[in-house]
Amino acid sequence: MHYTKDDSANASTPVEFIFMGTGTSSCVPHVDCLTRPPEAEPCLTCLSTLTPEGKRNARRNTSAVVRLRSACSEDVTILIDCGKSFQSAAVEWFPKFGLRRIDAVLITHAHADAMNGLDDLRGWTLRGAIQLHIDLYVSMNTFKEVQRAFPYLISKEYASGGGDVPEFKWHIIEEGVPFEIGGTGVQITPFAVHHGRIFTPAPPVEMPITPHSLSPASTAASSPNVPGTPLHAEDLPTSSPADAIQPYLCFGFIIQDAITYISDVSHIPEHVWAMFKSRGKVPPVLVLDCLRILSHTSHLGIEDSVETARRMGAKRTYLLGFSHDLQHDDWVTITEAAGGENHEGSKLALIEKHGLHGLREGDPIWVRPAFDGLRVFVSGEGSVRDEGYSR
């Protein structure tokens, strides 16, 4: 079930958020963990996914669906990221949650786990199966990466075989410039965070952009915040010259003042924090990257995730992007401790002790691990509930 027409009468903008995937780029389980010889050390996280009890340890690429109401009280369905595991996620969650039409796709960045499922959207548009086209919202850099990797998704003259390709309408969006999904009244604010670094300069990509493949309103747009843009001065390590380290930039999104979504991040620049502050109110839900206990070049570890959640101050923070290092229940134990629950004296696994040890002292905050298929509801008044956690 989802929000019905009746709900909109007493809630200005109810938002339903569905986690399509909550795992790292390689997904969980790993094939190598499932096929290890008996004498090798078993991976309990991956093996558990073969049992009903381990269902929450099975994690596809990070992705989400946001369903909310347009100004005319019509359902608006937004897909965030369409990576390698999109098709199997859609097969599982679209029928279960009554999803069908996709009004917009937002792509955070041009990694495979965020965009390599775009081809599967042909299932929506081929011969108008569900709709005639899908609107995609991406940075200029992501647009160029799609053009380089999958030219036929931009321009049909590159299609081959039977020519059965999806119908897209591309919209170029820029950091810090809010945009509206079609004429729905639904407002999205993109912002750029660091997601690791660029190891080699990208080769120039200068295939011609076919004018009809871009929406008229966006053809003149360009993004100054593409990989290759120098770091902001306050974010530079003092010992590194500006041209030595280039951050790879990834979009996060603020959706209708209800949800802040940051799926892939190693560092949030101060000017982005300033933008959050300038908005005056904190969206009640934060969705945030957490790969594992220790931080990583491209992702947050639990210590930085909890510190980021504290600084943001959302009512609820849901973590996603997990590797197979820990099981779901381990993450629950660790995040409960961030909320002030005392697990001392409990029988804890070594990995849980490591996770607890990594948390810094600070104000208690509500943080939990998301899992595939978890639904979160934000009322028009900003209250939050979900279908996974009773506390």
Number of residues that bind Zn ion (CB under 5 A): 7
When binding is defined by CB under 5 A, the residue of 16, 103, 145, 264 that contacts Zn ion is 264
Which lies closer to Zn ion via its Cβ, residue 43 or residue 337?
Answer: 43
Provide the minimum distance between the beta carbon of 110 and Zn ion in the complex, in angstroms, as a whole number.
8
When binding is defined by CB under 5 A, the residue of 15, 20, 33, 105 that contacts Zn ion is 33
Provide the minimum distance between the beta carbon of 108 and Zn ion in the complex, in angstroms, as a whole number.
8
Which lies closer to Zn ion via its Cβ, residue 113 or residue 336?
Answer: 113
Site for Zn ion in 77-106 (CB under 5 A): none
Are residues 369 and 319 in contact, defined by beta-carbon separation less than 8 angstroms? yes
**Cα separation of 38 and 59, whole Å?**
24
Site string for Zn ion, 35-54 (x = CB under 5 A): --------x--x--------
Which lies closer to Zn ion via its Cβ, residue 78 or residue 262?
Answer: 262
Using DSSP's 3-state secondary structure scheme, residue 149 falls into: helix
Tell me the CA end-to-end span of the chain in Å, nearest whole number: 22
Are residues 326 and 292 in contact, defined by beta-carbon separation less than 8 angstroms? yes
Cα distances from 389 to residues 62, 187, 220, 332, in angstroms, run: 20, 28, 46, 10
**Cα separation of 317 and 285, whole Å?**
6
Provide the minimum distance between the beta carbon of 3 and Zn ion in the complex, in angstroms, as a whole number.
31
Are residues 25 and 298 in contact, defined by beta-carbon separation less than 8 angstroms? no
Provide the minimum distance between the beta carbon of 30 and Zn ion in the complex, in angstroms, as a whole number.
5
When binding is defined by CB under 5 A, the residue of 67, 69, 111, 194 that contacts Zn ion is 111
Stretch that binds Zn ion, among 125-133, 161-169, 222-230, 264-272 (CB under 5 A): 264-272
- For residue 171, give the nearest of 132, 220, 130, 131 by alpha carbon: 220
Stretch that binds Zn ion, among 23-31, 171-179, 336-344, 370-378 (CB under 5 A): 23-31
Which lies closer to Zn ion via its Cβ, residue 30 or residue 122?
Answer: 30
When binding is defined by CB under 5 A, the residue of 2, 30, 36, 232 that contacts Zn ion is 30
Cβ neighbours around 58 below 10 Å, total: 21
Applying CB under 5 A, does 249 fall inside the site for Zn ion? no
Which lies closer to Zn ion via its Cβ, residue 114 or residue 365?
Answer: 114
Residue-by-residue DSSP string for 153-176: GT-GGG--TT-----EEEEE--TT
Which lies closer to Zn ion via its Cβ, residue 46 or residue 326?
Answer: 46
Provide the minimum distance between the beta carbon of 62 and Zn ion in the complex, in angstroms, as a whole number.
9
Stretch that binds Zn ion, among 62-70, 107-115, 129-137, 152-160 (CB under 5 A): 107-115
**Cα separation of 274 and 136, whole Å?**
28
When binding is defined by CB under 5 A, the residue of 60, 324, 328, 375 that contacts Zn ion is 324
Site for Zn ion in 190-219 (CB under 5 A): none
Provide the minimum distance between the beta carbon of 345 and Zn ion in the complex, in angstroms, as a whole number.
30
Name residue, tokens 């004296």: 345
Which lies closer to Zn ion via its Cβ, residue 29 or residue 284?
Answer: 29
Cα distances from 165 to residues 21, 124, 126, 154, 159, in angstroms, run: 24, 10, 7, 10, 7
Provide the minimum distance between the beta carbon of 77 and Zn ion in the complex, in angstroms, as a whole number.
24
Where do contacts with Zn ion occur on this chain (CB under 5 A)? 30, 33, 43, 46, 111, 264, 324
